Amino acid sequence: NAGVMQNPRHLVRRRGQEARLRCSPMKGHSHVYWYRQLPEEGLKFMVYLQKENIIDESGMPKERFSAEFPKEGPSILRIQQVVRGDSAAYFCASSPPSSADEQFFGPGTRLTVL
Amino acid sequence: GDSVTQMEGPVTLSEEAFLTINCTYTATGYPSLFWYVQYPGEGLQLLLKATKADDKGSNKGFEATYRKETTSFHLEKGSVQVSDSAVYFCALREGGTSYGKLTFGQGTILTVHP
């Protein structure tokens, strides 16, 4: 059973470009969480999604950031018009419907904005 | 809101030394508490957890006890190995929630020398 997969592992964008980060949850997991880790800080919750639904987006910046988890395919975290302050590691985690405590993390995508 | 505070790092120890990483929390209600470990270039892995007061979580020689009276969940290991070198994160999940939104501490870097 493959773990949580994220791609790309490293992403470089220039200011003003768009960044798309993908997360494929573990098989059988329908719950996805996105976290951001800024340099020298812990992980901060961004958004929680179930298939086709955003359940809690209380940690998402109000502008430029969006997330989706379609019926088919991976979850996508999209950042429009990136700025240098968006440079961070973005981690995705998934869990089965039956156990919120059983969260499995992907290896992360490290975004660098030039 | 909920918060987690970890001891400042980095922590450097010799092999077979005793390890303590302090973690305290602020939360309403009765949160679940976790320790995650992150090895270089990898995602976070759940190390241990405790879901109610006085519970002790343990795994791979690591232990932590949920102390409600001191709002603490300190991580301990009696004899560390070089392979334990990693970043350790303390986290909580708010009590009464049905999903796994986690609040993390800032992480503690542990380096173990032979």
Q: How far is B101 from chain A (nearest CA, A)?
A: 7
Contact A103 B105 (CB under 8 A): no
pLDDT reported for residue A98:
76
3-state secondary structure of A101: coil
Query: Which of A103, A104, A109, A110 best probes binding to B when mutated, by most B CB atoms within 10 angstroms?
Result: A103
Q: How confident is the model at residue A1 (pLDDT cuts 50, 70, 90)?
A: low
* Residues A88-109, mean pLDDT to the nearest whole number: 89
Q: How far is A74 from chain B (nearest CA, A)?
A: 18
Distance CA B77, CA B80 (A): 6
Mean pLDDT by 10 residues, chain B (114 residues): 88 96 92 93 91 94 96 97 96 81 93 96
Distance CA A64, CA B26 (A): 31
Tens digit of pLDDT for each residue in B98-107? 678 899 999 9
Contact A106 B104 (CB under 8 A): no
Nearest CA in chain A to B42: A107
pLDDT reported for residue B53:
92
pLDDT reported for residue B58:
97
Chain B residues lying within 8 Å of A43, measured CB to CB: 44, 89, 102, 104
Residues near A45 by Cβ (< 8 Å), separated by ≥ 6?
A33, A34, A35, A58, A59, B101, B102, B103
Asked whether the predicted pLDDT for residue A59 surpasses 90, the reply is yes
